[in-house]
Structures are given as structure tokens and as C-alpha cells.
Amino acid sequence: MIASFQLLTGLLALTTSAVSSVVQPRSITPPEGCPIPTWVVNNFQWHNASHSLDCVHHPYDYPEACLCGSGWCKPDPATCNGTMVNPCYTGMPNYEPWGYGPLETLDIDFADGLQCHDQYIGYRIHDIGNGASNCGYADRGQGRIVSFYGTSNLDSSIGHMDYVLGSGHALTCANGSSITYSGSVDFPLTCTHDAYFNATCTAPVFEIPVLSYQWV
């Protein structure tokens, strides 16, 4: 009986350890003499309106909108004091034409000062919540790529985030070599919805573990 109890205790401990390693992976040990970054997300806010303009999946499915000056007017060709245009054309003054809800936005702030802000803009339209986010347009060329994947339809779900530190932000080791890192994590995502199913999603503070490195 004692042996069976000890075996059961050992199996439970092993199972608990395995689950913990999946839910909360630890960062790797860097090569000797090399620094390793710490990526802590201390603010996560995702606002996804149920009636926002979706120029990613349905760029040509919308009726024409009335562009009047630097804004939008009632989309009636008979009264439009401007030009009837596709509301998803690149270069529009904003992506909140008449009859559409507020913009979908995503903000990811890191403890080290990196800030990622996403919304539909004329020169860069992409699927928010399904890939790379905009962490400062100029900085993307340097290789700090933060990608977020998740859904705003559920009250509680699991989000996923990848972080790639490219060669433009390589760290220097004691021997003079340059090294970059990447990592990923799953994290709890909580969303609240109003009467129109507009979603506001948040996450607790979480860390993206460093899982691999590359010499550059």
C-alpha cells in the first residue's frame, strides 16, 4: 500500500510538472557570456467592434460611401456633396465611414518600453488578432516582430503571442558575437461584450519566455 501511494504521488507530481511546463514554459539558458532579454507584457487591450469596417476579409463587399472633404457624409448618391467611393480604398482619411462602428484597435505594451498599436490605416491593412502587430512602423524593419493570435467572440479563451528579435536588435556577447532570440506563449484572454457585441479584451501581466536563439 505504501509503495502504491508513493507511486501515485510520484505520477501526480510528474503530471503536475508536465502541465506546468506547458502552461508556463521557462526561458532557455543562453550561451555562456551572452545576455538574454526579458519580455513582459504589462498592458494588453483589444477593442473589436461588431460593426467596424473589415477591409481584410470583405474589401469589396461594402456599398459605396460618401467622401466629403476630409470626412464622411450620409452615403446617399442623391445628396452626397462629394464623391461616392469604396470605403476600403487605400488612403481614406479614416476607417470609420458613416454607419460603421468604432475602429478595431490593439495595444500591447512591454515593460521595456516597446509599444505596439494596431488599427486600420490607409497604408497598412492587415488582420488584427491573426498575425504580426504594428510595433512602430519604422521599427518593424529592424526585426522586433510581435504577433498576436486570438478571438474576441468568447468571454474567456487562450491567446497566443510570438516574439522575434531580429538582427537590427541583436545583443552582443562577451566574445563579441551577436545573438538574437525568439519566443512564444499562450496566455489567458478575457473579453466583455456590450449589448451590440462590441468586445473589450484584456489579459493579466504575462511574460513571453525566450525559447530559441540564433547567431547573426
Alpha-carbon span 34 to 29, nearest angstrom? 10
Domain presence at residue 192: yes
Domain presence at residue 154: yes
Domain presence at residue 113: yes
Domain presence at residue 92: no
Burial class (CB in 10 A: 0-12, 13-18, 19+), 78: exposed
> Residue 130's domain spans which residues?
39-55+97-215
Whether residue 50 is predicted with pLDDT greater than 60 in this model: the reply is yes
Dihedral, 163, 169, 175, 177 alpha carbons, nearest 10 = 80
- Domain harbouring 144, CATH code: 2.40.350
Domain presence at residue 2: no
Neighbouring C-beta atoms of residue 195, cutoff 10 Å: 5
Dihedral, 190, 162, 22, 43 alpha carbons, nearest 10 = -40
Beta carbons of 186 and 82 less than 8 angstroms apart: no
Query: Percentage of the chain surpassing pLDDT 70?
Result: 80
For residues 54-71, give the mean pLDDT.
80
Q: What confidence score (pLDDT) does residue 140 get? A: 61
Tens digits of residue pLDDT in 123-181: 556 678 988 887 755 566 667 889 999 999 999 999 999 999 988 899 999 999 999 99
Tens digits of residue pLDDT in 82-119: 999 988 876 776 777 787 878 889 999 999 999 998 88
Domain presence at residue 120: yes
Number of domains into which the chain is organized:
1
E-strand ranges in the chain read: 39-48, 65-68, 71-73, 83-85, 105-110, 115-119, 130-132, 144-149, 156-165, 171-172, 178-193, 199-202, 206-208, 210-215
For residues 17-43, give the mean pLDDT.
79
Domain presence at residue 14: no
Phi, psi of 120 (to 5 degrees): -70, 125
